[in-house]
Amino acid sequence: MGRLEGKSAIVTGAGQGIGRGIALVLAREGARVAVVDINPDTAASTAKEIEARGGRAIAIRCDVGIRSEVDSAIAATAEAFGSIDILVNDAQRIIGEINVEDLTDDVVHQSMQSGFMGTFYFMQGCFPYMRASGGKIVNVGSAAGTDGMARWGAYAATKEAIRAITRVAAKEWGKYGINVNAICPASMTPAIEAWRKNCPDDYAASLAHFPMGRYGDPEKDIAPAVLAMVSSDFDFVTGQTVMVDGGASVLR
């Protein structure tokens, strides 16, 4: 029997990259998974992959920055699975390489709406389902925020806002048995893969910041940390940020 047998989970941004890896591992451990992504094709692909491995999943197309779509996704999950026990907020539009003085309202809005507001909408929408019997929430931050990465102002601010609401919700919802934590992962996402191909020298230089000498694999390295956080292993841990980054934060 898997560690999450009988549990139901929502994973946003699960069509690819880190979200996909998390969805696959949670399903492997017995969770029924709602694969949420703005791209219906990639959402369906991940859901089919889960089912091919013997798990149970539904694919939901959702723009996390639109509350009505989030509400519909949550309702569809509850109808399909009967409960919502786990929420992983990974969805985020990545917009960077812009100096602070050149940031526009539109860039900041897109980043905050897809990241912070999407995370907030899902947390608020899932709360009624978790209030009665507890639950686990994991939000995804970034070293761009903790380190103040140059030329990534909107993205960094969004990720720090996500970590802030993580801590606030942990304080408010602990009495309901709801654990709210965050991770800051360093992983071989499609964006990093593209960067490696287009800027191989820069990518090679970046590896010097990793004591373990590599970026993490979404399914093998990042997802297991999330699995621990949404299992009973983390019942007494809340309001924390775990740096799942191969030790990169140690060298900064």
Instruction: Say what the pLDDT of residue 252 is.
Output: 67
Instruction: Say what the pLDDT of residue 165 is.
Output: 98
Active-site hit among 121, 129, 155, 215 = 155
CA angle 235/241/246 to nearest 5° reads 110
Joined tokens for residue 12: 């946003």
Between the CA of residue 30 and those of 7, 24, 142, 171, what are the distances in Å? 7, 10, 28, 29
Give residue-wise pLDDT tens across range 67-88. Answer: 999 999 999 999 999 999 999 9
Annotated domain spans of the chain: 8-186+219-251
Give residue-wise pLDDT tens across range 94-140. Answer: 988 899 999 999 999 999 999 999 999 999 999 999 999 999 999 99
Flag whether the pTM goes above 0.85. Answer: yes
CATH of domain 8-186+219-251: 3.40.50.720
Q: Who contacts 52 (Cβ-Cβ below 8 Å, separation ≥6)?
A: none
Confidence of residue 191 (pLDDT cuts 50, 70, 90): confident
Active site residue 155: yes
